[in-house]
């Protein structure tokens, strides 16, 4: 089956130009894909292809400060409220309330956006290895990795070695082409991550006040929900899952073996199969 995407842009409420891809038949059940911090929309490439083949209309967004989306002039514009505002702007352009699929930072954006909207802005939510109460040590490990390479890399091989050290359980990829999509070349020729370092200066995503607000949003959300958990992840623990289930009793948990926090990258086929099963059960085409 042929597959093609259409690139699009739109303006955020504070004037940033945000970029994304869309594919599928307009009017079909919609799915919105939101990547994690430090990633780009290209991390969802295989998932977007699979969902389109199943008949869904898919929108795949580069978050502000990531990929081809514009960087904010100040760190304060990378708060969770700004990310969720961008999502709501996108949702206003869709033909129907979508299934929101968010990984890590994208998942927190989803939980912030669903709030107490009436009618609900989402037909269902899928959280990819993220809960409101994350494991502190795991979250710090992610942030430390992102901070460690602010000066970039001399070569693609050096960048690949850094990723391999962070994800020692993941087999080396056959090609580094996918990694290159998450990098940009600086004026002096070094390879830098394709995101704004100021993103790390706003750390409201793991604060107690934020967690309580997200949990309250979960209590009010009655549509189908699924947590996809990597069994090797150090971000999502048993206490975080129990708390989320208590506030969101309809939550289904789908475990992906031999996968860490980067589930879609570690076990893409298993992730896509679990996502497709959930969608066809709750929001069929």
Q: What is the pLDDT of residues 26-52, one digit of tens each?
A: 999 999 999 999 999 999 999 999 999
Between 3.40.190.290, 3.30.70.20, 3.40.50.2300, 3.40.50.1820, what CATH number should domain 6-142+196-282 receive? 3.40.50.1820
Across the chain, mean pLDDT equals: 92
**pLDDT reported for residue 132:** 95
Smallest CA-to-CA distance from 87 within 76, 101, 73, 74 is with 101
**pLDDT reported for residue 1:** 47
**Percent of the residues in the chain that have a pLDDT greater than 70, as a whole number:** 98
pTM greater than the 0.85 cutoff: yes
Give a three-class secondary structure readout of the chain.
CCCCCEEEEEECCCCCEEEEEEECCCCCCEEEEECCCCCCHHHHHHHHHHHHHCCCEEEEECCCCECCCCCCCCHHHHCHHHHHHHHHHHHCCCCCCCEEEEECHHHHHHHHHHCCCCCCCCCEEEEECCCCCCCHHHHHHHHHHHHHCCCCECCHHHHHHHHHHHCCCCCCCCCCHHHHCCEEECCCCCEEECECHHHHHCCHHHCHHHHHHHHHHHHHCCCCEEEEEECCCCCCCHHHHHHHHHHCCCEEEEEECCCCCCHHHHCHHHHHHHHHHHHHHHCCC
Q: What is the pLDDT of residues 209-234, one digit of tens each?
A: 899 999 999 999 999 999 999 999 99
């Amino acid at each position: 089956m042929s597959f093609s995407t259409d690139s699009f842009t739109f303006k955020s409420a504070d004037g940033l130009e945000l970029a994304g891809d869309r594919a599928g038949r307009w009017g079909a059940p919609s799915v919105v894909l939101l990547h994690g911090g430090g990633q780009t929309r290209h991390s969802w490439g295989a998932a977007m292809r699979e969902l389109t083949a199943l008949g869904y209309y898919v929108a795949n967004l580069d978050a502000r400060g990531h990929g081809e989306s514009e960087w904010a002039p100040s760190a304060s514009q990378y708060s969770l409220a700004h990310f969720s505002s961008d999502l709501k702007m996108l949702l206003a352009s869709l033909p129907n309330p979508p299934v929101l699929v968010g990984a890590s930072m994208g998942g927190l954006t989803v939980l912030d956006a669903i709030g107490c909207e009436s009618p609900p802005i989402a037909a269902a939510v899928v959280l990819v290895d993220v809960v409101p109460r994350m494991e502190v040590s795991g979250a710090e490990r992610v942030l430390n990795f992102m901070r460690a390479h602010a000066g970039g890399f001399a070569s693609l091989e050096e960048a690949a070695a850094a990723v391999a050290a962070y994800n020692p359980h993941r087999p080396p990829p056959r090609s580094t082409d996918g990694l290159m999509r998450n990098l940009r070349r600086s004026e002096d020729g070094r390879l830098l991550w394709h995101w704004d370092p100021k993103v790390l200066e706003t750390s409201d995503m793991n604060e107690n006040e934020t967690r309580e607000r997200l949990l309250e949003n979960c209590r009010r959300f009655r549509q189908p929900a699924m947590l996809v958990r990597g069994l090797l992840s150090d971000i999502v623990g048993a206490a975080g899952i129990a708390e989320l289930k208590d506030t969101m009793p309809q939550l289904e948990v789908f475990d992906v073996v031999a996968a860490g926090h980067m589930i879609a990258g570690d076990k893409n086929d298993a992730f896509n199969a679990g996502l497709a099963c959930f969608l066809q059960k709750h929001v069929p085409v």
